[in-house]
Structure 1
Amino acid sequence: MKAVEIAQALTDLAEQPFDPAEFPYAFLEAFDNNATTLKRLREGTTNKSDLGGVLKARHIHILTCDAGRAEQTLAALKASKATVKAKAKFILATDGADFEAEDLTSGDTVVCAFKDFPDYFDFFLPLAGISTVRQISENVFDINATKRLNRLYVRLLLDNPEWGTSERRHDVNHFMARLIFCFFADDTNIFGENGRFKETLAQMSAMDSSDTHEVISTLFLAMNTKREERTAAMIPRWADGFPYVNGGLFSGRVDVPQFSKIARSYLAACRTFTLPKIIV
């Protein structure tokens, strides 16, 4: 199941009236658990929960609860012997108003209003076997993706479904390769001190993310324009401090996918990035 399909299924679930008994199965169905799997869980054949919830081994332990008890319920799930024995990767508690979950492998958590939990769809992608960004083999980087980079990548495809088509796969891969170079350049002071690329994005792009793609496109254009050609290319002063990067990475089209507020926040979270080996 594709990430965009999971995100849509969770959005649909959040918009439905909350049904405590059915929610765990609907949540699992969103991650492409088939009818047979869900039937066995309902019948108790494969449900390992010791708390009256739904526990799929090596997957997730879900428990709905009374109003105002999401936090306590999550703690009970974490302390559950069945959670440990079944090697659950996630725990999830909700009362239909509050939503809390934890990745038991990383320790990362989500605490939000129930209506907002689809915004964190990427948090649960490992349940569908999606845990890393696909290798961008068409470009010069061999990428060992971090979780934050993966979240950005998946979110951009969700917000820009046309970029996920076979016709645009090269474009999105090329875009991600350019971003990774910029993250690396910030970390190694190629752009100067204080993380100029990320600082420029924070200062020049609107908080509502409406022009984030335009700011990034302008920076990419600057990096593809020699100093003596920048006046003619009408490179704005705020972008002129970025160096010309030869080698072809920034040549060609400089169109950039649209950024939602969530995607912009993921971009801001990519504060450090160590460039893996470069294929020469």
Structure 2
Amino acid sequence: MNPVEIEVAVSELAAQPFDKEEFPFAFLRAFGNKETTIRRLRSGESNKSDVGGVLQTNNIHIAVAQFGEVAKALDALRESRATAKAKARFILATDGIHFEAEDLESDDPPIVCEFKNFPDYFGFFLPLAGITTVKQVRDSSFDIRATSRLNRLYVELLKDNPDWGTTELRHEMNHFMARLIFCFFAEDTGIFSRARLFTDTVEQMSVHDASNTHEVISEIFRAMNTKDSNRIEAKLPRWADAFPYVNGGLFSGNVAVPKFS
């Protein structure tokens, strides 16, 4: 599995209801462990944990803690003789609400976060998948997560707009994705007049089945290609007029947008 595939698997795991019995195996599965490996751990054949957790030799020792006792469980994993004997690199404890982990072979600070946010640190655990050149990947975990989401959006859009994947329209699709990236960036950096201007407008102006979402986004793009002096003549909808003119050519030319499901 590559980092993008791992990020998808980890994000899906975090979004599911927490299953204290299944989590350690699901976590290992997200990093590419095969079902034969999972079965051996589940049966106890290769699981030598001495704290009631799941211990994978040379990799990780995982414990599901009682609520509010995650730090205590991590201490137990750190002091475990089995952890040392199996040369486990990572220790991980969670109660489904809180999440803590540590790389015993690194000076990096431990991870302490809410369970729902642990995918933000998936790069920390990439050695579990045999990916050892992870310094740059670890530092770019958020970039990889963003890339993964854009890739999934791209794939979903092509399902409903197969013509946008053809040679003739590939440039238009790439241009559309670049415009989206700018809009999300502008929301986060104060370029727009208020936070979530793009996101909220698309949500509020789209009908329930999203059948007009492409029209909403197209009008937003048209607004960002219209100078202030030309706004009255352009007859922009009031909700689109809130978007500023953006020079540099990103929004010039065709403002066609693929249809959304």
**Do they fold alike, i.e. is TM over 0.5?**
yes
Preserved CA contact (<8 Å) 1:93 1:101: yes
Deviation, 1:154, is: 3.1
Structure 1 residues 182, 30: closer, same or farther in 2, change over 3 A?
closer
Deviates further, 163-172 or 66-75 = 163-172
Preserved CA contact (<8 Å) 2:13 2:26: no
How many pairs were matched up? 224
Task: Give the structure 1 partner of residue 247 of structure 2.
Answer: 244
Q: Runs of 5+ in structure 1 lacking a partner?
A: 135-144, 188-193, 259-280
Task: Give the structure 1 partner of residue 143 of structure 2.
Answer: 149
Q: Runs of 5+ in structure 2 lacking a partner?
A: 207-212
Deviates further, 70-79 or 163-172 = 163-172
Structure 1 residues 24, 184: closer, same or farther in 2, change over 3 A?
closer
Deviation, 1:63, is: 0.4
Preserved CA contact (<8 Å) 2:60 2:88: no
Q: What is the distance in 1 between the residues matched to 2:12 and 2:151?
A: 13
Task: Give the structure 2 partner of residue 196 of structure 1.
Answer: 191
More contact order relative to length (CA 8 Å, sep ≥ 6): 1
Matches within 5 A, 1:25-44: 25-42=25-42
Task: Give the structure 1 partner of residue 97 of structure 2.
Answer: 98
Matches within 5 A, 1:68-217: 68-77=68-77, 82=83, 85-88=87-90, 91-94=92-95, 98-102=97-101, 104=103, 107-112=110-115, 117=116, 121=119, 123-124=121-122, 127=126, 146-155=140-149, 162-163=156-157, 167=162, 174-178=175-179, 195-197=190-192, 200-202=194-196, 205-206=199-200, 210-211=203-204
Deviation, 1:53, is: 2.0
Which protein shows a greater Rg? 2
Preserved CA contact (<8 Å) 1:41 1:54: yes
Preserved CA contact (<8 Å) 1:157 1:163: no
Preserved CA contact (<8 Å) 1:61 1:91: yes
Q: What is the distance in 2 between the residues matched to 1:151 and 1:30?
A: 15
Q: What is the distance in 2 between the residues matched to 1:172 and 1:48?
A: 51
Q: SS at the partner of 2:203?
A: coil
Preserved CA contact (<8 Å) 2:120 2:142: no
Structure 1 residues 230, 86: closer, same or farther in 2, change over 3 A?
same
Structure 1 residues 80, 180: closer, same or farther in 2, change over 3 A?
farther
**TM-score normalised to structure 1 length:** 0.53
Preserved CA contact (<8 Å) 2:100 2:112: yes
Structure 1 residues 24, 47: closer, same or farther in 2, change over 3 A?
same
Could you tell me the percent identity over the aligned residues?
A: 31
